[in-house]
Structure formats: structure tokens, C-alpha cells
Amino acid sequence: MKAQQTGSETTSSSDDAGSTETDTSAGETDTATDTEALDTTPDTDTEPEIDESALDSSGISDNSSAVAPDQLTTATDVDTGTDIEVATETEAETQEETEVVEDVSEVAQETVQDTSQQEDTAEAAEGTPIAKALSGDTSTSLTADITVAPTLVENTSDVSIASIDVEASANAVVNVEISGADSDKVTYNTETQEIILVSGLDYENDDTLEITVSISDDFGNSQSDNIVISVTDQNEAPSLVAVENNNLLSVNASLDDIKANGSNISETTDIGSLVASVAVSDQDGDALQYSLSGVGSENFSISSTGEITLAASLNFEAQTQYTLEVTSSDGINAMTEEIIIYVVNDNEAPSLAVQDFSISEASSLNSVVATAVGNDPENTTISYSLSGGGDKFTIDNNGQITLTDSLDYESNTTYELTVFASDGFFSVPKIITVTVTDANDAPSLSSSVAFNSFLENTAVGTTIATSTFSDPESDMPTEKLPWQAP
């Protein structure tokens, strides 16, 4: 501003000197003024005073001679009465004054040009700290108050952990930067001026959150604060480590029934077999308890270490899949994992139902004395056969057992039969016992005559005939045969 003011004054003096010819006194005054713009050394000479009383009404001193003024060489100092030599301005001196004025005008012109350049530079730098300082805006203070949460609970996210109240200079551009070991877990919201926790904390890995908040403005002011917040522990639910599925297949298993993402267990698998297991951990070190739920879960059991075993026989034809919900609990929190058990169909042997039976020795030939019933899980047609029984019995494709030869209780009271049921792949035998029951048979009687005739005087007591009685049951006759002589 000073340069602009100075340049404006210098330009005005140059115009006066160049347009009008002044007297020596006026020229010296202008020259002195212009010189002061270049040389600040003070002039200590004192101008002589003129006694105006010595001048007449025409402005000419009464004591003056007819000598032209430019020829005068002396004057009298009225205070001291001493003659003063008056320097006569020559043409050379006038030329020198003119050159001085021109030099001053040139300097003033350069000052105007410099001022214009400064204005262009100021316009280009508008908004910068230098520009603000040139415009008179010299307030550059920056203060920030940060309110910090005292603690943070682990596993918490999307919550405000600190708020920033910034007081800065007018029109200042403020920048907030977050750094430090845990800076990746937070972000700064410029609208709410809050620091937000975006990633959950884990007390077991780190019990503090440490960040550095740096605040600065475009004036070069800055403030840096280190923030440390304690992380508090909370009881966490158990977490799944691994699931191990088991495949237990018999030699007769149907490979078409095997599936992925689960355990494949043949329906003929023995009870107590390990079908799957889960591995669970608890960050707090609490003891874990396991339980099973879901439709059919009673067919399985789980140990205190997460091993799942078969507790009942499986039947592919009844249920082909079990979805078990495995729950592990630390007494406060729990987690649930789904385990799938696929039942694999086995080509199973048929079942055979036939019972021991009794038959009377008096039973008629070709009569059906018993029936065998076979059943195949795969619904295959069953064929029957038998062996044993002294070839007195046969069986047809319907399982009917027929008597083909007569029985005699007195000769044989029991027979052992082996009945077979086959599905074409498996043949299932079953041994049964046939008991023959006794029938009350009629006795037999035979007789023989000693004489075809005898004398009339035959002695009493003479045997003339013999009768023989026989009973299959060894029963004794209860009646006497009547006899009458001819």
C-alpha cells in the first residue's frame, strides 16, 4: 500500500515540472520534493529571510539598481546586515534540474508498474495465507477440544468414540488426519465431527485402542493429540473350529445314495459307531456343553468332546436323512451348527418269519401244515426252499409247507426242517421243529383154533382156540369177548 501511495504522488510532481516553467524557488521546491522520494537525508540549511519592507509597491526594492535581476550578485541579510552572494542560475544549472525531474518521473513510472504487478500477484494468490495477510486478515489461531469415550466394549462397531470441537480462523481450511496403530479401525465423519469405530475390537488380542489425531489449517497452524482408549472384555459365544464328517459304508452299500457335504452312513452300521464330530473353542476358556436336537436326533448321541455316535439302528426305507442341530454352550452364550447325516441304502438280506409247529400223525397227505413269510427291504420277490424232515414236507413259492408222506407218532415224534428265503442275492435260512402228535389208533385182534372139531367129552379147560389183542398205544382191552358153545 505504501508503494502504491508513493507511486501516485511521484507521478503528479513529474507532470507539473514537465508542463510549466517555474522560478528558481519553485523549481527548487519541486526538486526537493522529488529528491526526498529518493533521498531521505534531511536538509539542514536555513533559507535566508527577505525584508519585504524594502520592496516598493511594484515589488521592487527601493534599494535596487537598474541592474536586471538576473545580473544581481549580492543581497543583504536583514538580520545581520551582511551581504549575501546570490548565485545566478545559469542555463547549465537549469538543465541539471530538468534532468533530475526526469529521473524522478522515471522512478515514479517504475513504481506504478511494480504496483500493478503486485496487484496481479495478489489476485493470483487470492485465498492463500499470504493473500489473507495482505488483505488484513491476520487472525490465524487454531484450537480443538476432543471428547473421548472412556472405554470401549470389545466386538462393538459403528459407534462414536470421540467428538472434535474445532475453533479456527475465519475462512480457514481445516484438515483432520488420523494415524497410529489402530487407525484402520476408525474413520472421521466431517459432517458430525466424530471419530467412528468401524471395526470390532478383540480384547483377547489387544486391550487398548491407540490413534493419533492431527488437526491443521492452511495458515500452517496444527495440533496433534494421542488417544488411548481401554477395551473391556465381554463373555463371547463359543466359535466353531471344524466339522468332521464320517463315511461308513458296507460292502452292499448303494453308491447312488452317497452325497456330499455330510456324513454317509450305511443303514446296517453298528450302534455306537462314530458318524461325525465338531470342534468348538471358547475365547474365554469356559467349559463347553453339547446337545443335539432335530427330527430323529434321538437316534444319535454326542459326547462332552463333540463326538456324535449312532444310538439306534438306521433304516433307509424309513428315513434317508437326518439334520442334527448341534448346540455348544459355555453356560452364558451358545452357538448352533447344523450336521447332516445321509443314510445309505444297503442291499439287505430278506427277513423270514416261520414258526415251529405240531402236526397229528393222523393228518391227511398234501395238507398245508404251515406257512413261511419272507420280506425284502428292497421289495425284491422272495423265493422259498427247505431241507430235512425225512422228505415228508415240501414248500412252494408262496411259503406254504405241505405234508407229502404219512406220519407215525410211534415211529418218530419230531422232525427238523430248514426253511430258506432268498432275494436272489441273499438267502436267509431258518430252522424249525415239527412235532408229531399221537392219534388214538384202534386196537387189533387175531385168533387161532386148535381143533376144527372136538369130542363131546373133551375135558373142561382144554384150549380149543387162542385170541391175540394189540393196541398201538399199548392200551389194555377193557371188555371181554363173549363166547358161546355151538
Average pLDDT over residues 213-222: 90
Average pLDDT over residues 192-218: 88
The percent of residues in the chain predicted with pLDDT above 90, rounded, is 42
Coil, strand or helix: which one is 158? coil
38/78 same-domain check: yes
224/267 same-domain check: no
- pLDDT value of residue 378: 84
414-472 confidence digits (pLDDT tens): 999 999 999 998 999 999 999 999 987 667 667 676 666 667 677 777 777 777 766 66
Tell me: pLDDT of 194 over 70: yes
The domain total for the chain is 4
212/253 same-domain check: no
397/288 same-domain check: no
Tell me: pLDDT of 31 over 70: no
pTM of the model as a whole:
0.44
Nearest CA to 320 among 376, 250, 265, 273? Answer: 265
Enclosing domain of residue 286: 239-342
Domain boundary among 64, 97, 124: 124
Q: Is 156 inside any structural domain?
A: yes
Q: Which of 26-30, 58-62, 174-178, 348-352 has the lowest mean pLDDT?
A: 26-30
120/201 same-domain check: no
Mean pLDDT score of the chain, rounded to an integer? 76
- pLDDT value of residue 297: 96
Q: Which of 134-148, 245-259, 372-386 has the lowest mean pLDDT?
A: 134-148
* CATH number of the domain where residue 277 is located: 2.60.40.60
295-331 confidence digits (pLDDT tens): 999 999 999 999 999 999 999 989 999 999 999 998 8
259/323 same-domain check: yes
Q: Is 32 inside any structural domain?
A: yes
Tell me: pLDDT of 335 over 70: yes
Burial (CB < 10 A; 0-12, 13-18, 19+), residue 32, is: exposed
CA gap 404, 249 in Å, rounded: 46
Q: Is 21 inside any structural domain?
A: yes
376/286 same-domain check: no
Q: Is 475 inside any structural domain?
A: no
* CATH number of the domain where residue 162 is located: 2.60.40.10
Q: Is 137 inside any structural domain?
A: no
- pLDDT value of residue 39: 44
- pLDDT value of residue 88: 46
Q: Is 462 inside any structural domain?
A: no
Cell of 73: 550578485
103/164 same-domain check: no
> Could you tell me the pLDDT band of residue 12, with boundaries at 50, 70 and 90?
very low
> Could you tell me the pLDDT band of residue 219, with boundaries at 50, 70 and 90?
confident
349-387 confidence digits (pLDDT tens): 899 999 999 999 999 999 999 999 999 988 889 999 999
Q: Is 179 inside any structural domain?
A: yes
223/256 same-domain check: no
- pLDDT value of residue 357: 96
Look at the chain and count its residues. Answer: 486
Taking each helix axis as running N to C, give the angle between helix 91-124 and helix 2-19, from 0 to 180 degrees, rounded to the nearest 10: 150
> Could you tell me the pLDDT band of residue 178, with boundaries at 50, 70 and 90?
very high
- Between 37 and 366, name the one with better pLDDT: 366
Label the pairing between strands 274-281 and 239-245.
antiparallel
16/117 same-domain check: yes
Q: Is 410 inside any structural domain?
A: yes
- Could you report how far apart the first and last alpha carbons of the chain are, in Å? 190
Domain boundary among 318, 342, 366: 342
97-131 confidence digits (pLDDT tens): 555 545 545 644 555 455 555 555 545 545 555 55
